[in-house]
Amino acid sequence: MTTATKYSLAATAGVLLVGSLLGLVRQQELVKLRTEQHDLLLQADQLGVQLDSARSLPLSKRSRDSADLKTRSMVTQMLVFAKEMDSRRLQGSLSDLKFQKRVMEMNQRLVALSPPELQKVIAALLGENGLTTETRVNFIGSSILILSDSRPAEAVALYAESGGLLGRLPLGRHVISKALSRWAEQDPLAAQGWMRTHPDGYPGISEHDAQRLILAGTVKKSPALAIALLREMGFQDSSAALRTIVEEADSLEQRSAILAALREQKSVKSLNESLETMARSLKGESFETVQAWLNHSALNSTEKAHFAAGLTYATTQQDTGHWIDWMAQNLPSDQLRENVGNLIGQWTQQDYLAAGKWLTAAAAGPAKNAAIGTYAITVAEYEPQTAVQWGLTLPEGAERQATLQAILRNWPKKDAAAAALFAQEHGLLPLTK
């Protein structure tokens, strides 16, 4: 586990433990909590554990095995700390800065434990009757979450043992999701086999959610195996499960492996759906890199059209003009209008100046005409005269007339006189009130 991961997990655990313990105990339980805390302090003393709140107690002889003592000490300290948190909640002192610092220190110590030590801590917490349910859930959930990073199989098994406790809360869903996907990333078949033989082992999530988590983890190890498992799992909505696989593929190599597996299965529908999802899931790759991958993938015209249909301004950004040029070179003219229109429309809404600059320099042809039509219609809402200028650059005919009519429909209502004059000049159908 890296240092960054440890601190991230410590911060997460700290938030969970403090945030989820609010409202745990009623005022009349304060005396009981203080009594239990005192008993735990005595237990800490017997183990030879030195705590800030127990410094006045005499230390007993330390003769136990050091490894076992470390684990038992950690458990005792957590129990003492949990009782103190409950008491502080009743007193309204959880926000004390010194105490918050101690929360973080406690959780950093928890993160530093080895997997076997964590397992012992979790087992002890499961057997401890002196904790509120919420406190137990948060400590156990945080511990399993930490364990899932290095020992996901053990984490899943421990979750199953305590799932009735964890599964009722949002934390439980987060814990099992992390553990299952991490296990599938390390050993997909083992994770899938465990899920099949333990149908009730993951309360808090549905069976299909568990299956999708396994698919998501499997992609990191073997996209082809993920596709094979998809067929075995028998999803009612296989398209949604396939999207999970494609969206988790975070490299061009993984996407190529998915395409190869789908082609081997001769699943044309799934292949086309995946290409659209791949286009929607581009994560900052440059146009040049993705174009080279497309050329290497040897897509046919239909496949290219499906990829183009998935492109959005959210993924193309500063390369939007390049992608429209790519469409002009790779899509048949009858498919250009919709695909180019969708992309230029989104671009115009987000940055009409940049879209107009590209349009000015674009080469003449069907793609530019499709872009002009959508651009003009989009800007008509706030710059109708600019829209008219662009609309009139289209060749005379049905396409230009339809564009001008659409500009009229989008004309600002506050400028009705100019709209009426425009309609009269170009023989357009007047707008109905």
- Could you tell me what percent of the chain has a pLDDT over 90? 48
The answer to whether residue 240 is domain-embedded is yes
Higher pLDDT, 127 or 271: 271
Confidence class for position 24, pLDDT limits 50, 70, 90:
very low
Amino acid 286: pLDDT: 93
Amino acid 253: pLDDT: 94
Amino acid at 335: Q
Residues 6+ apart with CB under 8 A from 26: none
Q: Are residues 144 and 185 in the same domain?
A: no
Where is average pLDDT lowest: 97-106, 359-368, 375-384?
97-106
Q: Are residues 168 and 144 in the same domain?
A: no
* Tokens linked to 168: 């009722």
For residue 236, the tally of other CB atoms under 10 A from its CB is 7
Amino acid 72: pLDDT: 76
How many structural domains are present in the chain?
Answer: 2
Q: Are residues 55 and 180 in the same domain?
A: no
Q: Are residues 172 and 203 in the same domain?
A: yes
pLDDT in tens, 372-427: 999 999 999 999 999 999 999 999 999 999 999 999 999 998 988 999 999 999 98
Q: Are residues 61 and 35 in the same domain?
A: yes
Confidence class for position 96, pLDDT limits 50, 70, 90:
confident
Amino acid 32: pLDDT: 45
Residue range 339-363: mean pLDDT, rounded: 94
Amino acid 66: pLDDT: 66
Amino acid 139: pLDDT: 78
The answer to whether residue 179 is domain-embedded is yes
* Tokens linked to 320: 């939007």
The answer to whether residue 246 is domain-embedded is yes
Q: Is residue 292 predicted with pLDDT exceeding 50?
A: yes
Q: Is residue 60 predicted with pLDDT exceeding 70?
A: no
Q: Which of 241, 264, 281 is the last residue of a domain?
A: 281
Q: Which of 281, 314, 339 is the last residue of a domain?
A: 281
Q: Are residues 106 and 242 in the same domain?
A: no
pLDDT in tens, 321-347: 999 999 999 998 888 889 999 999 999
Structural domain boundaries enclosing 14: 1-150
- Could you tell me what percent of the chain has a pLDDT over 70? 84
Q: Are residues 178 and 241 in the same domain?
A: yes
Q: Which of 281, 297, 317 is the last residue of a domain?
A: 281
Where is average pLDDT lowest: 136-145, 146-155, 340-349?
136-145
Q: Are residues 16 and 63 in the same domain?
A: yes
Q: Are residues 168 and 123 in the same domain?
A: no
Residue range 296-322: mean pLDDT, rounded: 94
Confidence class for position 1, pLDDT limits 50, 70, 90:
very low
Amino acid 163: pLDDT: 65
Q: Is residue 38 predicted with pLDDT exceeding 80?
A: no
Q: Is residue 53 predicted with pLDDT exceeding 80?
A: no
The mean predicted confidence, pLDDT, of the chain is 81
Please give the backbone phi and psi of residue 169, each rounded to the nearest 5 degrees, phi first: -120, 155
